[in-house]
Amino acid sequence: MINYGFIEDVLDLTAYMRGEHRMPSIPYVENGDWTPWLPVYEPQARFFESSGCTVWGSLNCIETFMKRVYGVEQNYSERFTYLNVPITPDTGADPHKTCETIRTYGLINERDLPMTRTVARYLNRDDLTEAMYDKGERWLQQHEFRHEWLWNKRPANYIEVLKEALKTSPLGVSVTAWREVDGVFVSDNGGNNHFCMLFKIDDEGYPWIFDSYDHTIKKLSKDHNIRRAKRFWVNRRLVRDMKKHVSVLQSILNSLMIFKKKTLAQYCEEAIGTDVTPDDLIPDMVACAITVSTLINKTDPTFPKVAGTWTLWDILSHRSDYERVTTPTPETIVISPTGTGNGSIPGHVGIYLAGDVIASNDSQSGKFIKNYTLDTWKARYVTKGGFPVYYYKKKTI
């Protein structure tokens, strides 16, 4: 497989998965299709350069985002970012390092450091001037740039995760370049070697990318092995742009009022007295974790459906969009994980609802019912079972 410039090693991923640089989840494009805002095509391989895909892919995402949110057609210099990473010719870079370079040096316009006719001239750092770095610094003063990986370990439902994330941003994704079969580009189960912009997943489930190589727009197979995905957010601090952003947000809020999604509490109330997982792939007597994670997944498709309380606890402990709280409020996950007690009874998990009740799977009937209060939960799982009790709540932006 040819190395097209994508390196899968991730730098400083832990902090970004913890949420220290968390970006908003604003549905700028509710249908997830960024086609109307695609940028001007700029070929990466004009002189057979094949190492800078993380730069082209990231800038395409940023330019598309800004065209949608701020109504401006930007054309930033790939070469400025390329030289500052710096990209190693015939090797490439990690997209995370490329994005952190943008956060360090900012961006400048293409006209300030344009494409060259030869590779030798393109790689010449002597063309970088103090005035260019001043412009990059000015960009940072006027813009707040954030980026975020969609996952640490790719979930089984990663296509659904991509669809949901596309509402908030065009996505930088890693792919396997390039083998076309019957009009779609396919991959094996090995590593990826290229990074580019995913701008939609169509109604049939095909991912579409805007590429920096020939043909520009490519249709991927439904099972294309997309191993990594990153979303982007830019906040322009200029007054006129803030007003533009506010108008976009207002239109989003108006649409959300019409198509308001159900809350976790609403899904729970609707599920009371029913078997949430009627397929019984997990036996009813131990189906508490699959029941709770299935309900969470209804409101958040990025959340995996899991069978065990220990696994669910581990996920809640490490996801950046959930936080441990000391006092439960409605929609708080209440969990006493199996393996943390005295062994007399298995662990359990439920969802705290209004009225000081906890709803969870009933091991006898397999139905989701309101079967505990905080006091009765503690009596069974703390006093009798020797378990700790943890409370987790999804963060609000």
- Is residue 109 a contact partner of residue 86, using CB atoms and an 8 Å limit? no
**Amino acid letter, residue 344:** S
Residue 258 confidence (pLDDT)? 46
Domain residue ranges in the chain: 13-250, 264-394
- Is residue 366 a contact partner of residue 308, using CB atoms and an 8 Å limit? no
CA 325 vs CA 144, 330, 393: distances in Å: 29, 12, 7
Whose tokens are 């209804």? That residue is: 298
Provide CATH code, domain 13-250. Answer: 3.90.70.10
Residue 13 confidence (pLDDT)? 45
* Joined tokens for residue 184: 């779609």
Positions of the chain with pLDDT under 70: 1-22, 43-50, 214-215, 239, 252-260, 397
- Is residue 189 a contact partner of residue 225, using CB atoms and an 8 Å limit? yes
Residue 1 confidence (pLDDT)? 38
Supply the DSSP symbol for 243: H
Closest CA to 61 of 252, 206, 198: 198
Question: Burial, 238: exposed, middle or buried (Cβ in 10 Å; 0-12, 13-18, 19+)?
Answer: exposed
Residue 215 confidence (pLDDT)? 61
- Is residue 264 a contact partner of residue 299, using CB atoms and an 8 Å limit? yes
Rg (CA), the chain: 24
The topology under which CATH files domain 264-394 is: endopeptidase fold (from Nostoc punctiforme) (3.90.1720)
Q: What is the DSSP string of 152-201?
A: SS--TTHHHHHHHHTTT--EEEEE---EEETTEEE--SS---EEEEEEEE
Residue 397 confidence (pLDDT)? 56
Please, which residues have CB within 8 angstroms of residue 266's CB and are 6 or more apart in sequence? none
Closest CA to 349 of 310, 298, 393, 301: 310
Polymer length in residues for the chain? 397
Instruction: Assign residue 106 a region (left: φ > 0; alpha: ψ between -120 and 50; beta: otherwise).
Output: left
Residue 15 confidence (pLDDT)? 46
- Is residue 15 a contact partner of residue 155, using CB atoms and an 8 Å limit? no
Whose tokens are 């015939």? That residue is: 90
Q: For residues 194 and 211, give the distance between their C-alpha atoms in angstroms, rounded to a whole number.
A: 10
Same fold, 13-250 and 264-394: no
Beta strand 217-219 with 229-236 is unpaired
From the centroid of its chain, how far is CA 60?
Answer: 17
Cis bond leading into 86, ω under 30°?
Answer: yes
- Expressed in percent and rounded to 5, the helix, strand and coil fractions of the chain are 35, 20, 45
Please, which residues have CB within 8 angstroms of residue 381's CB and are 6 or more apart in sequence? 336, 341, 345, 347, 348, 387, 389
Residue 244 confidence (pLDDT)? 72
SS3 call for 237: coil
Residue 237 confidence (pLDDT)? 83
Condensed to tens digits (0 to 9), the pLDDT of residues 94-123 reads: 999 999 999 999 999 999 999 888 888 999
pTM of the shown model: 0.63
